[in-house]
A and B are shown apart, each in its own frame.
Chain A
């Protein structure tokens, strides 16, 4: 910012000569700025109150009622919703299991693919820019209903995946209709969208000084040891960032499970992930009270998970000199 240097000093000079005048008005100025501050903040403040905070408290209250939207009289039922959820609701535990399975399988897989491809594309070569963009494309499209429909067709009994397997003499399965495999197809749809974390990895890789590798190479470290002892530690803040983001993201999976599971979480509830169960409870059966309790458990779980991440992150995330985050 060499260009702005001169006007800046110029300005400082001007200010210093005007100190008396400024001092007199400064009280008025800060008050004016305060008023302006809250004026500019007011849309967000209103939004936060009306759209976020009050509904949150309201849903906390609702979670202790048995309101069902239809009979307009929700009654206070104490902790009954929560007790029932944990002790008498197999559908709740099923949704927890499907969601956690998805998150635990899809997130590391997605990040591993993202990192692998990022490393392939990290150095500038001809066409690398285009390749990056094309790998990123699924991240823009993958969350849509259209792609979920495509996935359903690709993994159906007579779909392209089975035709491909048949070349190798493998008899495929009706993947999307088999409760054992359907979640696997949804995981693949998630992994397919690895472009977003890949771009973040690329930015991180660019920050690692070349000299580290050169020094290691002189010392006789092979590429695996370079990866293990230079790339991974240097990249750990970025890995951490991606891990937190993608995990929280994967817990909220909805569209693909909804579409591939035919809107009901089928076959045999295998795709009834947590948000889908919440949706079906709240909007399918209109059990607003119970759905609110589900929502709060979800919120607490995600919050707890975030805390756990940040606590454990201290043990394996290395910040070089605090230039990131």
Chain B
């Protein structure tokens, strides 16, 4: 398992699994099983798409996946929003925060990872162990004192508490990911640059950073997706509807008993998944092969 993220995985000619079942019946059975499971797993998404295209009264009554009278009305009404705020506002807020986090994570984790992976300094081992420990730290534990801190700074109801902490490499997972990646970059390159008179900063800028691009891409994509889907911290820090993000905004559609506007709610739910879905389409292989096996290395 030394292969790094996006490099195509070598053809798994000796893949595991019990010795091949040669029977045609086995293969057919397997295929049917996989297709059946796929249908089951994808059903909720298909249901959401269908619900978003159904007129409001049909959402509850028509249980078929095909709307009788498909309409885009839900999207129009959802987008113009409830009360006085357009859903576009939430979309913009979410995008700003997500992009802020992407930049903050990429820069800070890259710099930190370089220190851990390449430079020698006293206590490096200890700090690295501390960083790994924070990886397992449930962030709910810190939310109360952090809230007090950001309240003291006057940052409540701004995007700052959601972005600034990422600029100081608090997302240990990505630091770890980049350290693992940088360790796979041949050290000879550093040595060569050093001999040519490069400072540690020069090595970072001209050698390690350009070569670490695949890890940066992975970090950027997952930073975006996780921030986009994040609910807990946005719920805590954003409290005026003007500053709501998409997940918080979606909750506005849930009214009191029976008041819920199902159609527009599901239309906007659908829209809220679109950015993640686009990332999925564009980086399928990277997403599936890359990040999840990362923890197994090293």
Q: Report whether chain A binds chain B.
A: yes
Residues of A bordering B, CB below 8 Å? 1, 4, 7-8, 11, 14-15, 30, 32-34, 36-38, 40-41, 43-48, 50-52, 54-56, 58-59, 62, 117, 119-124, 129, 131-138, 140-141, 143-147, 149-151, 153-154, 158-160, 163, 192, 196-197, 199-200, 203-210, 213-214, 216-217, 223, 226-227, 231, 234, 238, 241, 245, 248, 251-252, 254-255, 258-259, 262-263, 275, 278-279, 282-283, 288, 291-292, 295-296, 298-299, 302, 306, 323-325
- Counting chain A CB atoms within 10 Å of each CB, the highest count among B142, B144, B229, B232 belongs to B144
In contact, B47 and A40 (Cβ under 8 angstroms): no
Q: Which secondary structure characterizes the binding site on chain A? A: helix
Which residues of A lie under 8 Å from residue B266 when comparing CB positions? 149-150, 153
Binding site for A on B (CB under 8 A): 1, 9, 11-12, 14-21, 30, 33-34, 37-38, 41-42, 44-45, 47-48, 51, 59-61, 63, 108, 111-112, 114-116, 119-122, 124, 127, 130-131, 134, 136-149, 165, 167-170, 175, 186, 188, 191-192, 195, 199-201, 204, 225, 229, 231-232, 235-236, 246-248, 250-251, 254, 262, 265-266, 269-270, 272-273, 276-277, 279-280, 284-285, 287-289, 292-293, 295-296
Task: Give the CA-CA distance A195 to B123 in the complex, in Å.
Answer: 38
List, in ascending order, chain B residues with CB within 8 A of A278's CB: 140, 143-144
Cβ–Cβ contact A298 & B138, under 8 A: yes
| A44 touches which of B169, B186, B247 (Cβ 8 Å) | B169
Q: Judging by beta carbons under 8 Å apart, are A47 and B16 in contact? A: no
Q: State the CA gap A119–B15 with chains docked (Å).
A: 10
A residues less than 8 Å from B59 (CB atoms): 153
Instruction: Choose one: B1, B16, B236; the contact of A210 (CB below 8 Å).
Output: B16
Contacting pair A123 B120 (CB below 8 A): no
- CB-CB under 8 A from A255, the residues of chain B are 231-232, 247
Contact present for A298 and B140 (CB under 8 Å) = yes
Give the 7 A-B CB pairs with smallest separation, nearest first: A47-B168, A37-B121, A146-B269, A55-B145, A36-B200, A40-B115, A205-B16
B277's nearest neighbour on chain A, judged by CB, is A141
On whether the beta carbons of B167 and A123 are closer than 8 Å, the reply is: no
How distant is the Cα of A123 from the Cα of B262 in the complex, in angstroms?
A: 42
For B231, give the chain A residue with the smallest CB separation. Answer: A255
Q: Name the B residues within 8 Å of A214 (CB-CB).
A: 19
Complex Cα distance, B41 from A58, in Å, reads 44
Chain A, Cβ-Cβ closest to B239: A283
User: For B17, what are the chain A residues with a Cβ–Cβ distance below 8 Å?
Assistant: 119, 122-123, 205, 213, 231
Residue of B nearest to A22 (CB): B195
A144 touches B142 (CB 8 A): no
**B45 pairs with A323, CB closer than 8 A:** no
Given A47-B168, A51-B165, A59-B142, does the pair A144, B124 have CB atoms closer than 8 Å? no
- B203 shortest CB reach to chain A, Å: 9
Question: Once the chains are docked, how many angstroms separate the CA of A295 from the CA of B277?
Answer: 34
Check B272–A56 contact: CB distance below 8 A. no
B279 to chain A, nearest CB (A): 8
Chain B, Cβ-Cβ closest to A258:
B231
Selected from B19, B146, B192, the residue in CB contact (under 8 A) with A51 is B146
- Give the distance to chain B from A225, nearest Cβ to Cβ, in Å: 10
Q: Chain A residues with Cβ under 8 A from B63's Cβ? A: 159-160, 163
Main secondary structure of the interface of B (DSSP, over half): helix
B284–A55 CB distance below 8 A: no
Q: How far is the CB of B240 from chain A (nearest CB, A)?
A: 15
Contact A41 B127, CB 8 Å, known A15-B195, A192-B41, A292-B145: yes
A171 to chain B, nearest CB (A): 15
B42 / chain A contacts, CB cutoff of 8 Å? 134, 137
Given known A-B contacts A47-B168, A137-B280, A146-B270, A41 and B293 have beta carbons under 8 A apart: no
Assuming A41-B115, A44-B108, A134-B38, is B229 touching A144 (CB within 8 A)? yes
Complex Cα distance, B17 from A285, in Å, reads 53
List 23 contacting pairs A-B, 8 Å CB cutoff, sorted by A.
A15-B195, A40-B200, A41-B115, A43-B167, A45-B127, A47-B170, A48-B168, A52-B134, A55-B145, A120-B30, A120-B37, A133-B280, A135-B41, A146-B247, A153-B59, A203-B296, A241-B295, A255-B232, A279-B236, A282-B147, A298-B138, A306-B136, A324-B1
The interface centre, meaning the residue of A135, A154, A203, A292 with most chain B CB atoms within 10 A of its CB, is A203
In the complex, the chain A residue whose C-beta lies closest to that of B108 is A43
Q: Once the chains bind, are B296 and A241 in contact (CB under 8 Å)?
A: yes
- In this complex, what residue of A is CB-closest to B171? A47
Decide: A145 and B247 in contact? CB cutoff 8 A.
yes
- Taking a contact as CB atoms under 8 Å apart, the answer to whether B192 and A213 are in contact is no
**Given contacts A44-B169, A160-B63, A252 and B121 within 8 Å (CB-CB):** no
CB atoms of A131 and B127 under 8 A apart: no
Instruction: Please state if B14 and A210 are interface contacts (CB–CB under 8 Å).
Output: yes
Q: Known: A122-B16, A255-B232. Is A37-B120 also a contact (CB below 8 A)?
A: yes
- Taking CB as reference atom, which chain A residue is nearest B168? A47
Min distance, Cβ B195 to any Cβ of chain A, angstroms: 7
Query: Are B143 and A302 touching (Cβ within 8 A)?
Result: no
Rounded to whole angstroms, the CA-CA distance of A173 and B131 in the bound complex is 47
Out of A32, A56, A146, A324, name the residue touching B273 (CB < 8 Å).
Answer: A146
Residue in B169, B191, B199, B262 whose beta carbon sits within 8 Å of that of A153 in the complex: B262
Contacts of A279 in B (CB 8 A): 140, 143, 232, 235-236
B152 to chain A, nearest CB (A): 11
